[in-house]
Amino acid sequence: MAALKHIFNELHYEMTRTIAEGGMGVVYQAHQKGAGGFRKVVAVKLIREEYSTIPEFQSNFIGEARLVADLIHTNIVQTYHLGQIGGQYFMVMEFVNGVNLEQFLERHRALNKPMPVDLAAFITSRIARGLTYAHQKRDNEGRLLGIVHRDIGPKNIMIGYEGDVKLTDFGIAKALDLMYNEEGQVVAGKDEYLSPEQADKRVTDARADIFPLGIVLTELLLGRNIFRGEDRDGSRENILRLPIPLFSTLRPQIDPKLEAIIQKSLQRERDQRYQSAYEMMTALEIYLYSDGYGPTNEKLGVYLKEVMGFREPGTPGPATA
């Protein structure tokens, strides 16, 4: 990382730590520096060096950057810049001071603590909001981009300590003229968070993001993903054939209204599923707020800090980031 620090320092980015590492990319926290002592915390995403010369990966990375550049929404991590240095492409992105949903779930498991039902539904509703925006996005000529994220899962959902919920990583999304796509030939996505059409290598549309969003909701409620198998094939088989339980029998606090939302999101026949993220978002918001008051970003932020043991800088106790 020392060589990277030196190179990026010349571009006015001070790399401070590694945030996440995946199969093809690495994300760093950095300070963007400017005139007059200007400093802004950002995230910098790079293609790993061994993949940076492969045209397919270059094309997809560039396509992701072009796609998300105009996705400006409170529930989507924003991208500021695409650059290239030393043969490697990089993206400068919004830094979310918080944790991803997988880390949040792991913390609950470590504490043997169930997540509050209303906050589980609230987090899911915010992701549905971001998906609604992405699914409806059009280009400058008014053409629907046909965005399908195809990788909805806890690792790609961020929660900030102020309670903001944001969807990230459109790296395997498909969209009009922008993204490399081999639907019908390969399985795109993580096996335990696929829609049945993804698991079956069928062509997808926006409804393919609804099923994994339902999986995320049930994992938040139960603390586990019921579709996760012993291996990749087992997970795909469960996505396609595992009997869908009544979730209220697994957690009694799930009332009939929420049960109905879960069941509709997990319909394997997509014509029987929610037909849009907007429909699912609306159903969740009616469930949350029909009595006049429900969870807010502020409530989620307070709860997140409590569970993660976060302390603001300058206050007594250990601080985490």
Residues acting as catalytic residues: 151
Q: Distance from first CA to last CA of the chain, Å, rounded?
A: 20
CA separation for the pair 318, 321 (Å, rounded)? 10
Query: What would the DSSP string read from start to end of 150-171?
Result: ---SGGGEEEETTS-EEE---T
CA separation for the pair 161, 126 (Å, rounded)? 15
DSSP bridge pairs for 79? 93
DSSP bridge pairs for 157? 167
CA separation for the pair 168, 126 (Å, rounded)? 13
Q: Rounded to whole angstroms, what are the CA distances from 306 to 3, 7, 106, 294, 301?
A: 38, 38, 14, 19, 9
By residue count, the chain amounts to: 321
Q: Read off the DSSP letter of residue 174.
A: B
Q: Is 148 helix (H, G, I), strand (E, B) or coil?
A: strand
